[in-house]
């Protein structure tokens, strides 16, 4: 637009910032750099940064920012345009071993051996859908708005499905996943995980495992469908390039096949609907649901209290940054016990947890700093909360009220029909009363049938 700018970027993202600017046709963008990290600094430390030097250029930071905003752009800085990524040749011809190495060296796999996508194998895969190979499905990006979006076709997805080891009957599910535009590898420093849940007739049709070892490496579709999502995210969305489109500091092992599971619908207690029915689909619909989160706790403990009370205590003290959502994975034995305790639906159990779980005092005050000042000034109910010391605060954080950590408006009218942000999935082989829980939230659910 011809306007000088002065974006502030920490030095850890130097290459990313310069690459993104160049990829958007602004190779001369004036970028000012800060030390890394900039979180949790005192006022004095922040002023020291402002009064110091740019760690990349060595120039005094504040004069550099002022110059970037006020000096006229040079001819070189005014250069602009679009950049088209190189997609390489249409085909490769070489020995199988050398072809494997080409895919590995170009970050086109999950760094495990792939099935080479020959023309014959791709054509066989395409028989798994009635859709035309050149049909454009949509676009994919590691982070929409911050990363470029790439468009792709049915054939592109089929190629990646072959690479992951999928069978043609898995292709409609993989196409449905791709159609959401949701990447398996999301660009964030916090190492996102993803989860796929299949419901409906498709689970038995493709022989998903939802019994013993439902979350483990014990069935082909569970393994390769989730893997296909990772591989296609790399090749069809530019995702998973460390330092450029992937910034997860620690990373996560979940990204290999993205917790690909199916619900044990035939063991649901009476009155408990399958997950896809909860989201508005018919029982006869085949549906894939996508979840996003960070972590999962697998709990194997035999309490004296009922399991729904144990899980409520876990929900109170479970902490994960940035979320007020949770997903519980219950073995059918735990689901039946909850039914026996009077919870006649998943919604009733979820609502109980949302209403009765609390928030640890340290977490409540850390994420509600303005309310701490009101508490210290004697404003109720916050003043009473403060008097509770280290006891759990009666603040239910598992409601769909916006991003966790944003304090509620004390003057707002209460929601007459608050919705629980706790999801329940039933799966497992009934070998014991086990369950798992994590900070996963439901992102979307889409039809698989439309891609048959």
81: in domain? no
Q: What is the pLDDT of residue 418?
A: 66
How much of the chain, in percent, has pLDDT values that exceed 70? 94
The residue-averaged pLDDT of 119-147 equals: 93
277: in domain? yes
Per-residue pLDDT tens over the stretch 105-121: 999 999 999 999 999 99
Same domain for 153 and 271, yes or no, is: yes
Q: What is the pLDDT of residue 83?
A: 66
Residue predicted with more confidence, 133 or 238? 133
Is 0.85 surpassed by the pTM of this model? yes
Same domain for 130 and 277, yes or no, is: yes
Q: Which helix (H) or strand (E) holds 355?
A: helix 346-356
From 66-80, 356-370, 390-404, the region with the lowest mean pLDDT: 390-404
From 65-69, 292-296, 327-331, 410-414, the region with the lowest mean pLDDT: 410-414
Same domain for 283 and 229, yes or no, is: yes
160: in domain? yes
Q: Which of 243, 109, 125 is nearest to 175 (CA)?
A: 125
Residue 281 has pLDDT above 50, yes or no: yes
Domain boundaries, position 18? 8-70
The residue-averaged pLDDT of 176-197 equals: 94
Same domain for 181 and 238, yes or no, is: yes
- If phi over 0 gives left and psi between -120 and 50 gives alpha, with beta otherwise, what is residue 140? beta
Residue 365 has pLDDT above 70, yes or no: yes
Residue 401 has pLDDT above 70, yes or no: no
Q: What is the pLDDT of residue 321?
A: 60
How many domains is the chain built from?
A: 3
Cβ neighbour number for residue 252 with a 10 Å cutoff:
16
Same domain for 283 and 348, yes or no, is: no
Same domain for 116 and 250, yes or no, is: yes
Residue 60 has pLDDT above 90, yes or no: yes
Q: What is the pLDDT of residue 330?
A: 98
From 77-86, 126-135, 274-283, 326-335, the region with the lowest mean pLDDT: 77-86
Domain boundary residue among 70, 85, 104?
70
From 70-79, 230-239, 254-263, the region with the lowest mean pLDDT: 70-79
Same domain for 433 and 347, yes or no, is: yes
Domain boundary residue among 23, 53, 70?
70
The residue-averaged pLDDT of 208-231 equals: 97
Same domain for 243 and 328, yes or no, is: no
Residue 407 has pLDDT above 70, yes or no: no
102: in domain? yes
- If phi over 0 gives left and psi between -120 and 50 gives alpha, with beta otherwise, what is residue 39? beta
Q: Indicate the pairing of strand 32-34 with strand 150-153.
A: unpaired
The residue-averaged pLDDT of 127-144 equals: 94
Same domain for 288 and 315, yes or no, is: no
314: in domain? yes
Q: Is 412:399 a contact under the CB 8 Å cutoff?
A: no
382: in domain? yes
289: in domain? yes
Same domain for 283 and 316, yes or no, is: no
Q: What is the pLDDT of residue 405?
A: 36
Give the dihedral of Cα atoms 284, 285, 288, 292; nearest 10 deg: -90
Q: Is the dihedral of CA 52, 54, 58, 62 positive or negative?
A: negative
Same domain for 63 and 135, yes or no, is: no
CA 140 to chain centroid:
14
75: in domain? no
Same domain for 115 and 125, yes or no, is: yes
Per-residue pLDDT tens over the stretch 245-264: 888 999 999 999 999 999 99
Q: What is the pLDDT of residue 104?
A: 95
The Cα 290–Cα 444 span in angstroms is 5
Q: Is 346:278 a contact under the CB 8 Å cutoff?
A: yes
Q: What is the pLDDT of residue 56?
A: 93
The residue-averaged pLDDT of 200-218 equals: 97
Average pLDDT, the chain: 90
Q: Is the dihedral of CA 371, 36, 143, 2 positive or negative?
A: positive
């Amino acid at each position: 637009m011809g306007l000088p700018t002065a974006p502030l970027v920490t030095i850890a993202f130097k290459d990313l910032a310069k690459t993104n600017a160049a990829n958007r046709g602004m190779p001369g963008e004036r970028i000012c750099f800060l030390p890394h990290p900039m979180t949790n600094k005192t006022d004095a430390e922040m002023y020291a940064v402002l009064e110091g030097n740019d760690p990349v250029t060595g120039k005094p930071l504040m004069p550099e920012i002022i110059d970037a905003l006020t000096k006229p752009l040079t001819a070189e800085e005014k250069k602009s345009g679009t950049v088209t990524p190189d997609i390489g040749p249409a085909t490769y011809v070489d020995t199988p071993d050398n072809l494997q190495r080409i895919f590995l060296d170009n970050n086109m796999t999950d760094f495990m051996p792939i099935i080479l996508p020959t023309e014959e194998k791709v054509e066989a895969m395409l028989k798994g859908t009635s859709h035309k190979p050149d049909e454009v499905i949509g676009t994919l990006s590691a982070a929409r708005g911050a990363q470029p979006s790439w468009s792709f076709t049915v054939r592109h997805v089929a190629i990646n499905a072959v690479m992951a080891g999928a069978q043609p009957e898995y292709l409609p599910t993989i196409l449905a996943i791709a159609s959401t535009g949701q990447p398996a590898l999301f660009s964030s420093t916090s190492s996102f995980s993803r989860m796929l849940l299949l419901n409906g007739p498709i689970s038995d049709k493709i022989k998903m495992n939802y019994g013993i070892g439902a979350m483990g490496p014990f069935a082909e579709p569970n393994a390769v469908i989730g893997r296909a999502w990772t591989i296609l995210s790399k090749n069809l969305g530019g995702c998973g390039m460390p330092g450029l489109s992937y910034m997860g500091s620690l990373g996560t092992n979940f990204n290999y096949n993205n917790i690909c599971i199916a619900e044990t619908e035939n063991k649901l207690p009476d009155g408990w609907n399958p997950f896809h029915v909860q989201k508005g689909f018919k029982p006869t619909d085949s549906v894939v649901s996508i979840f996003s989160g960070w972590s999962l706790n697998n709990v194997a403990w035999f309490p004296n209290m009922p399991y729904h009370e144990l899980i409520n205590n876990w929900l109170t003290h479970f902490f994960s940054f940035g979320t007020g959502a949770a997903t519980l994975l219950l073995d059918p034995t735990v689901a039946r016990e909850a039914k026996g305790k009077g919870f006649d639906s998943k919604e009733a159990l979820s609502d109980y947890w949302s209403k009765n779980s609390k928030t640890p005092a340290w977490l409540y005050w850390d994420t509600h700093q303005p309310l701490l000042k009101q508490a210290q000034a004697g404003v109720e109910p916050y003043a009473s909360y403060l008097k509770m010391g280290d006891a759990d605060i009666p603040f239910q954080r598992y409601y769909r009220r916006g991003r966790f950590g944003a304090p509620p408006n004390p003057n707002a009218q209460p929601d007459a029909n608050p919705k629980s942000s706790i999801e329940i999935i039933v799966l497992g082989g009934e070998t014991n009363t086990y369950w798992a829980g994590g900070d996963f939230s439901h992102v979307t659910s889409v039809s698989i049938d439309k891609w048959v």
